[in-house]
Amino acid sequence: MTIDYANLANEPRLLIEAELRPLQGDRFQPTGFADLGPARYTLADGTEMLLVESAQSVANRMELASWDESKDDLISELDGLPYIRVDLPDKKPLTNSILEAHRINSPYILEGQDKSVFDLLKKEASGLEVGPVKLKQLAQIVFKYDANAVLHGLFLAKSELAGGRLRLSRALSGFIEATSARIAESGGVKNDRVDPSGKAFGGGSDSGFGNVPYHRTEFTAQKISAYFNLDLALIRGYGLGDEATRLLIALALFKIRRFLTVGLRLRTACDLEVSGSLIVKRPTGFLIPDEAELLNICKVGIAECKKSGAFAVPAITAVVWKPDTKKKASKPEEQDLE
């Protein structure tokens, strides 16, 4: 099966859903926030809902779909995709634009002594300093150095780069939520087999001594659903050309597939699996190829984009990380305002 690009030609969005269930048992642990805890909310009809995984987290997990941790590089089928690698002075890899939370805007890429990438971006973004940002030009630059960042969004928040206005919205997004969620309370205790009281050797529970009881809040739900949204209109609006547009669509579909097959162990107590098949809500009748076929399509797309000159040469742009010792440290109050 191949991708029916013609079926997507006039669609603004590609909307996909998948029903999930706990891999074992019925309980699961949702995402939590330090000042909020689990994100619970109630629909107008009284249905109790729960956010299982946020859009930010799902985006990060889909980014990792293209990465092979064992070899610290892209999976072999995606070799040739451009990205920016940060090396230590001894040439050992430190991080890269695919793994960094802010992608190309990572401080390890733009704020060290090695200004080669910063200067490169500043040169290529010349002309964007005044007037509305030309998204087509910005998308071409980003696609050239990290095609993944076009899908996952980017904000180059540096005043020296067109006044800090260079931003691409997230084209691929997703989230997971649970319907009719109910609390499942449990707990346990950290046992100190030497001194349960924690007083014999001083310290007490604050220092990790003694038995320490704790509680755990998990949930059950009638239904757990994953939702994915690929903004086709946004991608087409960048005017990157047919080869790049097709590659970005295939890459996005692969990321969704890979996330659902190997990326659903969200936490120790939240291991999920897909129950059933992917459901395309829009456009109706659109079929998604399997992972292997999507990777083959991506390989063809990478070769086409490389041939057309859309990618940087070499595909991996290297920068050396050394802290910029000349940069004036911010005052605490200034850091709080950023």
Tokens 């969200």 label which residue?
A: 266
State residue 1's pLDDT score.
80
The model carries a pTM of 0.89
Shared domain check, 313 and 164? yes
The Cα–Cα gap between 95 and 262 comes to 22
C-alpha span between 148 and 66 (Å, rounded) = 9
Whole-number pLDDT of residue 199: 77
Helix (H/G/I), strand (E/B), else coil: 189: strand
pLDDT < 50 regions, the chain: 329-338
* Count of domains for the chain: 2
Task: Assess whether 114 and 202 both reside in one domain.
Answer: no
> Do residues 230 and 281 both lie within one domain?
yes
Residues 239 and 153 in one domain: yes
Q: Are residues 20 and 55 in the same domain?
A: yes
pLDDT tens column, 267-324: 999 999 999 889 999 999 999 999 999 999 999 999 999 999 999 999 999 999 999 7
Say whether both 263 and 142 belong to one domain: yes
Contact 174, 226 (CB under 8 A): yes
How far apart CA 85 and CA 248 sit, in angstroms, is: 21
Q: What's the confidence (pLDDT) of residue 211? A: 79
Mark whether 142 and 243 lie in a shared domain.
yes
